Structure 1
Amino acid sequence: MHQLLVFSDLDGTLLDHDTYDYGPALPAIARIKALGGLLILASSKTASEISPIHQELDLGDAPMIVENGAACVRASAIGTQDADYRAIRQVLRTLDAPFRGFGDMSVEEVSEQTGLSPDAAERARARQFSEPGLWHGDAHQRAGFLAALARHGITAREGGRFLTLSFGATKANQMQRMREQHAPCFTIALGDAPNDTEMIASADRGVVVRNDHSPQMPILPNEQHVLRTELPGPSGWCAAMFQLLAEWDDNEKGTASHG
């Protein structure tokens, strides 16, 4: 038997774009659990932000991929690992560049820049592995900044208004590590935005969840193994998962009967 691993983005995928509701996806989540699968939440959010959703969904000791793939942590490790973040902040202090990270901002400023409530902004500032921020310099300064970061092993990814610094791991990297830990396994990855494409393309089956508020997702290298939902958010998530879980369960039963 293969271990079932389901990797899911949050905003616009498992969570409704406008209401952040995951209710329509609950029947499929219950089915994943009934089949002995693990649901691994994978988001650009911090562990502190993901943890309440993880608890509400009763995902037990399933790990979480946090800060856009910068790390994979279990609920018990939230807040206990921040060496990467401290190292990034130390490098920033030596560079004295026109970059203003979340660590330079107050809770009120993060709330203003992101539209998050003060409580949510405080959780977003609870960084452990990466540092988002705003660039205030020109293009020439930016090129020098990125080159200096690279000499320290730090990469920068642009998403929306923010430039996010980390030591380079991605959602797809973390998914591969989980694959190795749980081999033999079968992976499903769901997402709605360009920063999910690598994870979706690396899975055995991928799902692009419709999100009319997100840039259009490109054709993927494994497109023949990708479902694109007609319904948005958790409704599309649920429909796609039931289809893929039925196929996977049938294949597993067929393998067992011929084994």
Structure 2
Amino acid sequence: MNSEIELMVFTDLDGSLIDHNTYEWAPARQALTSLDNISAGVVLSSSKTAAEIGRLRAELGLEKWPAIVENGAGILPPFVADVATQSAYQDLLVTLAQVPPGLRRHFRGFADITTTELADITGLSPAAAARAQNRCFSEPGQWLGTDAQQAEFVTLLTSWGIQVQQGGRFLTLSFGGNKADQMRSIIKAYHPKHTIALGDAPNDVQMLEAAEFGVVVANPHRLPLPPLKGEPEGHVLRTQAAGPEGWNAAVLYLLNRLELQ
């Protein structure tokens, strides 16, 4: 791997690099261009599937960098459009089916609904919703019960070796791995001099705290993240603007701070 990479940026997608409602990334174009100009690595890191991220990564011209998929349950290698096997996902659904019905009915996963229903919930096009259901490692879903029932659900699944992570929209289940774990493995492979991580949701916290600089991107659609480790010392920043506008401003600020412009 290239040992001369000055900077790697690890970024969440929904509510961070792309708009929470429109899924547009154009407001971040200036910062993305600046990153390209200095040959910085940009690693997309999301709960999205490999099929979804592979398409967006190609659109952004970032195919030469790995991507973290399905909340860190897997990695999409460079120049690969999708992941071939769904065996881990099928095993996850088999385990999920063992949850007592009185508790299981409160979790509405992507496998429990039609593509049309998912498109209605997320605002995705039918084709994009189908890619979101093409899962290999994890199962996102809506929690429809009480907080106490959710705690019982999480405790049970955890005892079975399933990791539960709260994202910006959905509760995501997997057999392990998170964004921070995968970020560390990528850093070990590429040896960047500096690292930046950006995100807006609880499942981003470990990634934000593990980077040299973490950026909490404002998201008016959810409660703000609590104060994070490293924030008082200036290693974790918060944006004023939401979504890709805030992302753009934060990256340009940090490029200037690191004297990489």
Q: Which segment drifts farther, 136-145 or 175-184? A: 136-145
After superposition, the Cα gap between the structure-2 partners of 1:20 and 1:149, relative to the gap in structure 1 and judged at 3 Å, is: closer
Q: For residue 24 of structure 2, what is the aligned residue in structure 1?
A: 21
Matches of 1:87 and 1:67 in 2, distance apart? 15
- Contact 1:3–1:182 at 8 Å: present in 2 too? no
Q: What TM-score do the two structures reach when normalised by structure 2?
A: 0.83
Instruction: Say which SS state the counterpart of residue 76 (structure 1) adopts.
Output: coil
Q: For residue 92 of structure 2, what is the aligned residue in structure 1?
A: 88
Q: Which segment drifts farther, 40-49 or 115-124? A: 115-124
TM-superposed deviation, 1:118: 1.8
Alignment counterpart, residue 205 of structure 1, candidates 205, 213, 226: 213
After superposition, the Cα gap between the structure-2 partners of 1:139 and 1:43, relative to the gap in structure 1 and judged at 3 Å, is: closer
- Contact 1:67–1:129 at 8 Å: present in 2 too? yes
1:36 aligns with 2:46: no
- Contact 2:141–2:170 at 8 Å: present in 1 too? yes
TM-superposed deviation, 1:150: 3.3
Q: Which runs of 5+ in 1 are unaligned?
A: 252-259
* Equivalent position amino acid for 2:10 in 1: F
Q: Structure 1 vs Structure 2: percent identity of aligned residues?
A: 45
1:233 aligns with 2:236: no
* Equivalent position amino acid for 2:85 in 1: Q
Query: Superposed, which structure 2 residues align to 1:70-109 within 5 Å?
Result: 70-74=73-77, 75-76=79-80, 78-95=82-99, 97=101, 98-99=104-105, 100-109=108-117
Q: For residue 248 of structure 1, what is the aligned residue in structure 2?
A: 258
* Equivalent position amino acid for 1:78 in 2: D
TM-superposed deviation, 1:178: 1.0
Matches of 2:143 and 2:75 in 1, distance apart? 27
CA RMSD of aligned residues (A): 2.7
- Contact 2:71–2:172 at 8 Å: present in 1 too? no
Matches of 1:219 and 1:51 in 2, distance apart? 33
TM-superposed deviation, 1:77: 5.5
Query: Superposed, which structure 2 residues align to 1:152-171 within 5 Å?
Result: 152-159=160-167, 162-171=170-179
- Contact 1:190–1:209 at 8 Å: present in 2 too? yes
- Contact 1:193–1:215 at 8 Å: present in 2 too? no
Matches of 2:121 and 2:135 in 1, distance apart? 16
- Contact 2:73–2:175 at 8 Å: present in 1 too? yes
TM-superposed deviation, 1:138: 7.8
Q: Which segment drifts farther, 94-103 or 26-35? A: 94-103
* Equivalent position amino acid for 1:212 in 2: P
Matches of 2:146 and 2:245 in 1, distance apart? 43
Q: For residue 65 of structure 1, what is the aligned residue in structure 2?
A: 68
Larger radius of gyration: 1
* Equivalent position amino acid for 1:35 in 2: I
1:186 aligns with 2:194: yes
Matches of 1:55 and 1:222 in 2, distance apart? 33
Instruction: Say which SS state the counterpart of residue 80 (structure 2) adopts.
Output: helix
TM-superposed deviation, 1:78: 0.9
Matches of 1:239 and 1:142 in 2, distance apart? 37
* Equivalent position amino acid for 2:221 in 1: H
After superposition, the Cα gap between the structure-2 partners of 1:212 and 1:95, relative to the gap in structure 1 and judged at 3 Å, is: closer
- Contact 1:5–1:38 at 8 Å: present in 2 too? yes
| Count of aligned residue pairs for this structure pair | 251
Matches of 2:199 and 2:148 in 1, distance apart? 34
